[in-house]
Chain A
Amino acid sequence: MNWFETITMHSPALIVAVPLLAGFLTPLVSRINDTVRNLFVLIMLSITGILIAILGYDVLTNGIRTYVFGGGNTVITLPSGLMFHVRIIFEVDSMNIFMVIITIILAIIGIVYSLSFMKKEDGLDKYYTIVLILVTSTLGMELTGDLFNFFVFLEISCITSCALIAFWVHKGEALEAALKYIVISSIAALFFLFALGLLYAQYNALNMATIANAIQFSIIDQAALILIIAALTMKAGLVPMHMWLPDSYGEAPPSITFILIAATQAGLYGAFRVIFTLYGNVFNSINLAYVNLVITANTIGWVLVALAIITIIIGVFMALIQTDFKRLIGFTAVAEIGYIFLGIGVRLASKYVQYSGSSATAIAFSEYSSIALNGSIFHIINDCLDIGLLFLVAGAIYYATKETSLDKMGGLARNMKYTTVFFIIGLLAVSGMPPFNGFASKLMLYESTYQLNPIITIIAVLASILLLAVFVKVFYSAFMGPEQQKFKEVKEVPKGMLIAMGAVVVIIIIFGLFPNLVINNIVQPAADALTNYTTYISKVIPGVI
């Protein structure tokens, strides 16, 4: 076994372990020097990125890879013949790789941004420690194959993001947002734990693949599904559980918000994994034995579509009346989450039974369902980049002018030329204007939704237009208009922040001009990994089915 294979083999564990180790080393390293600490954090995250690239190459070429902590076998066979799945297991398929790539891109860019943005703040060693642990927990949520491990990482992510939201302790609003966030998310996490107990009571296992293999969709499983879905959609920010999201996005330091987006998407990933893999028998199966579950799957799909539409509408409308820059972007982030859930809902609602005469012959998905799923997954990465870029621009404006209220801004385009260009690109991308990346994914969502129900598509398109209107308002009031007396001395932000924003813009343009490069290489394998839940089960616990 050469060294490359060894690294590939251990990379799932190392991806989580390296940022964790770095996080706890940071307080010690920062006793030396600030520059050394900054370099250290950046290098450690780059190492994680390299590991992720290696692992991604391997997984996309060779398929699912698992890692068992503590070594040895996962299965213990008792003398009585019972098989138990012990040990914590990490499993990596294309969907995990997709999420992990998003997380590490956002984390590295966020760190580069905060190197210049947070330069003058105090307590930076704790800041970088908590950021690294937040990245660890997000990566852990996205890599784990064990439900309880997922819960632990969920709680760590909850605690660390709360601490980071309240980083500007001198602002009362930041504390308020942090408290609201931790109250609701700890309650949701407790419900998640309760659901996990229900599943454990039924199947004596916490391994996702084992449970997915055995799931019956009895009444207890239904209760567990509801609790988990409610908890995870809360974490993702679905209306009407979205209210913490603009609060915390608006009040956290913008560099943190950028990384918080990745943590939010990890909750979304959990919802994906639970719906499509854990309850794959219900939502993904085309087996005639589960014909009675088609109606259930369709109903949940329609409920999700309805919630997604409400999410889009409320997000856009609330963004229209905001006067605080970051809070406004927070509400548009809610709307973007709605588009992602629209794709999931369309996929779930498109299941039907084929009849010949009076007897059912097959269960099938409509053709547009796969496009909806692809669009939904593609929209995750577009949402992260676009909304993230806008938050970075908001942070740049805050850095230059110390203002977040739109009423007090104006004429900033004269002094901040690069920032203005970046904002225009973010504006066009987030509202789905061609040729940027938001358009490709939204087009896929529109076309698939249109075949389910045209009215929903019309609402979604109108909301997208309103989204453009919202950002035109921001653009007009912040960047255009006559020069303000108090902003005469405003300068362009430092190079580090410009580099971070520029990197996001470059990714956005590449994704926009070559959407098929992304869809064929990352998105399509991720969608395949989600839909083929039997492959997941047979790879993670071989020999069971």
Chain B
Amino acid sequence: MFSFESILETLKTGSGFWDPLIWVIIAALAFLLIYVLRSFGKKEFKEKTEQTQSFLSGNPEYEKEQMRIKGSNVYWGFIETMKWAFNILRKIHTGNASDYVLWLIIVMGFLFIVVFITGAL
């Protein structure tokens, strides 16, 4: 039955291991290190001066409302480059109920061929 001793055991994955507690400790140490390093930084930063303004090649900063990127525009470059693949995927997803059934039949036929060939061996 339930063995609570296994809480602290390490998960063995054949060739490796995974222990979240060690990971958490190391992550905490890393954050501590970052904090320490950060505290060595320069203390010249002042709010509400020119330092806080972003530099857009000398152009004026846009309004906040216009700075927003829409959800469908994120990863625009990636989607544009992989357009051929996405076009194929879009073609497959017709949204037609008959096609859904057709795919079921196709998979069934494919499995029939595979299993009958190898099962007869």
Residues of A within 8 A of B (CB): 57, 60-61, 179-180, 183-184, 187-188, 191, 217, 219, 222-223, 225-227, 229-230, 233-234, 240-241, 243-244, 247, 292-293, 295-296, 299-300, 303, 307, 314, 317-318, 320-321, 323, 367-368, 371, 375, 405-407, 409-411, 434-435, 439-440, 443-444, 447-448, 451, 469, 473-474, 476-478, 481-485, 512-517, 519-521
Docked Cα-Cα span, A448 to B15, in Å, equals 9
B41 contacts the other chain (Cβ, under 8 Å)? no
Residues of B within 8 A of A444 (CB): 11, 13
The 8 closest A-B pairs by CB, nearest first: A406-B71, A477-B71, A435-B20, A482-B64, A516-B9, A520-B6, A473-B74, A299-B118
Inter-chain contact count A-B, CB under 8 Å? 177
CB-based contact A240/B121 at 8 Å: no
Docked Cα-Cα span, A162 to B58, in Å, equals 58
Other-chain contact of B71, A57, A227, A407, A519 (Cβ < 8 Å): A407
Residues of B within 8 A of A244 (CB): 100
Docked Cα-Cα span, A477 to B72, in Å, equals 9
| A519 to B, closest residue via Cβ | B11
Which chain B residues (1-50) contact chain A, with CB distance < 8 Å?
A: 1-4, 6-7, 9-11, 13-16, 18, 20-21, 23-24, 27
Other-chain contact of B119, A219, A407, A474, A521 (Cβ < 8 Å): A219
Docked Cα-Cα span, A229 to B18, in Å, equals 34
**Chain B binding surface SS class:** helix
Residues of A within 8 A of B93 (CB): 243, 318
Docked Cα-Cα span, A187 to B103, in Å, equals 12
CB-based contact B100/A180 at 8 Å: yes
B69 contacts the other chain (Cβ, under 8 Å)? yes
| A444 to B, closest residue via Cβ | B13
Please judge, given known A-B contacts A226-B115, A371-B14, whether A323 and B97 are in contact too, CB under 8 Å: no
Residues of A within 8 A of B20 (CB): 434-435, 440, 512-515
B56 contacts the other chain (Cβ, under 8 Å)? no
| A483 to B, closest residue via Cβ | B64
Residues of B within 8 A of A191 (CB): 108
Please judge, given known A-B contacts A180-B100, A444-B13, A447-B16, whether A240 and B106 are in contact too, CB under 8 Å: yes
26 pairs, CB–CB < 8 Å, chain A vs chain B: A179-B97, A183-B100, A184-B100, A234-B104, A240-B103, A241-B103, A243-B93, A244-B100, A295-B118, A295-B121, A296-B119, A303-B111, A317-B82, A320-B79, A405-B71, A407-B72, A434-B18, A440-B11, A440-B20, A482-B68, A512-B20, A513-B20, A514-B20, A520-B3, A521-B2, A521-B6
Which one of B3, B24, B108, B112 has the greatest number of beta carbons of chain A within 10 Å?
B108
Docked Cα-Cα span, A516 to B15, in Å, equals 16
Other-chain contact of A520, B9, B72, B99, B116 (Cβ < 8 Å): B9
Residues of B within 8 A of A483 (CB): 64
CB-based contact B71/A299 at 8 Å: no
Other-chain contact of B75, A187, A320, A519 (Cβ < 8 Å): A320
CB-based contact A482/B65 at 8 Å: yes
Task: Add 19 more A-B contacts to A180-B100, A219-B120, A299-B115 (CB < 8 A).
Answer: A184-B97, A217-B119, A230-B111, A240-B92, A243-B103, A299-B114, A317-B82, A317-B86, A367-B14, A406-B71, A434-B18, A439-B18, A440-B18, A448-B14, A473-B75, A477-B70, A484-B68, A514-B7, A521-B3
Docked Cα-Cα span, A315 to B104, in Å, equals 17
Please judge, given known A-B contacts A234-B104, A443-B16, whether A476 and B74 are in contact too, CB under 8 Å: yes
Residues of B within 8 A of A409 (CB): 71
CB-based contact B18/A478 at 8 Å: no
Docked Cα-Cα span, A519 to B9, in Å, equals 11
CB-based contact B69/A477 at 8 Å: yes
CB-based contact A410/B118 at 8 Å: no
Residues of B within 8 A of A57 (CB): 1
Residues of A within 8 A of B70 (CB): 406-407, 477
Docked Cα-Cα span, A529 to B2, in Å, equals 17
CB-based contact B1/A451 at 8 Å: no
Docked Cα-Cα span, A474 to B9, in Å, equals 36
Docked Cα-Cα span, A519 to B17, in Å, equals 14
Docked Cα-Cα span, A167 to B114, in Å, equals 41
Which chain B residues (79-121) contact chain A, with CB distance < 8 Å?
A: 79, 82, 85-86, 89-90, 92-93, 95, 97, 99-101, 103-104, 106-108, 110-112, 114-116, 118-121
Residues of B within 8 A of A314 (CB): 89
Please judge, given known A-B contacts A295-B118, A323-B71, A513-B21, whether A447 and B15 are in contact too, CB under 8 Å: yes
How far in angstroms is the closest Cβ of chain B from A282?
9
How far in angstroms is the closest Cβ of chain B from A244?
6
Residues of B within 8 A of A184 (CB): 97, 100-101, 104
How far in angstroms is the closest Cβ of chain B from A533?
19
CB-based contact B100/A241 at 8 Å: yes
